[in-house]
Amino acid sequence: MSQFLTCPVCGRTQIDTPRCPNCEADLTALRILANLPPVKSGLDYRSLVLAIVAVILGFIAAKI
Ligand SMILES: [Zn+2]
């Protein structure tokens, strides 16, 4: 399923590629999150936040 994203770095909209064509930000994690099922409760939202933190930590670890 393809979904248009908005770049969190430069604000470009209607992005359907893994990277932002304007600033080349990696949107892979954003796309994964965008494709998750809709959040139904506060508890699920907490899990989503934990998932985002895990993705960010993984990204930082890959950079080192
Ligand atoms: Zn961008």
What's the gap in Å between 15 CA and the centre of ligand 1? 9
Question: What is the structure's pLDDT at 37?
Answer: 76
**CA of residue 50 to ligand 1 center, whole Å:** 24
Q: How much distance in Å is there from the Cα of 38 to the middle of ligand 1?
A: 25
CA distance 4 to 24: 15
pLDDT at 56: 93
Segment 3-46, tens digit of pLDDT: 788 998 999 999 999 899 999 999 988 888 877 777 666 667 77
Ligand 1 midpoint to CA 41 (Å): 30
Name the pLDDT band for 1 (thresholds 50, 70, 90): low
pLDDT band, very low/low/confident/very high, at 53 (cuts 50, 70, 90): very high
The candidate with the shortest Cα–Cα distance to 27, out of 37, 12, 38, 17, is 17
- For residues 14 and 45, the answer to whether their CB atoms sit within 8 Å is no
Task: Give the 3-state secondary structure of residue 19.
Answer: strand
The arithmetic mean of pLDDT across residues 44-63, rounded, is: 87
Residue 20 CA, ligand 1 centroid: distance in Å: 5
The token duo for 59 is: 């990204």
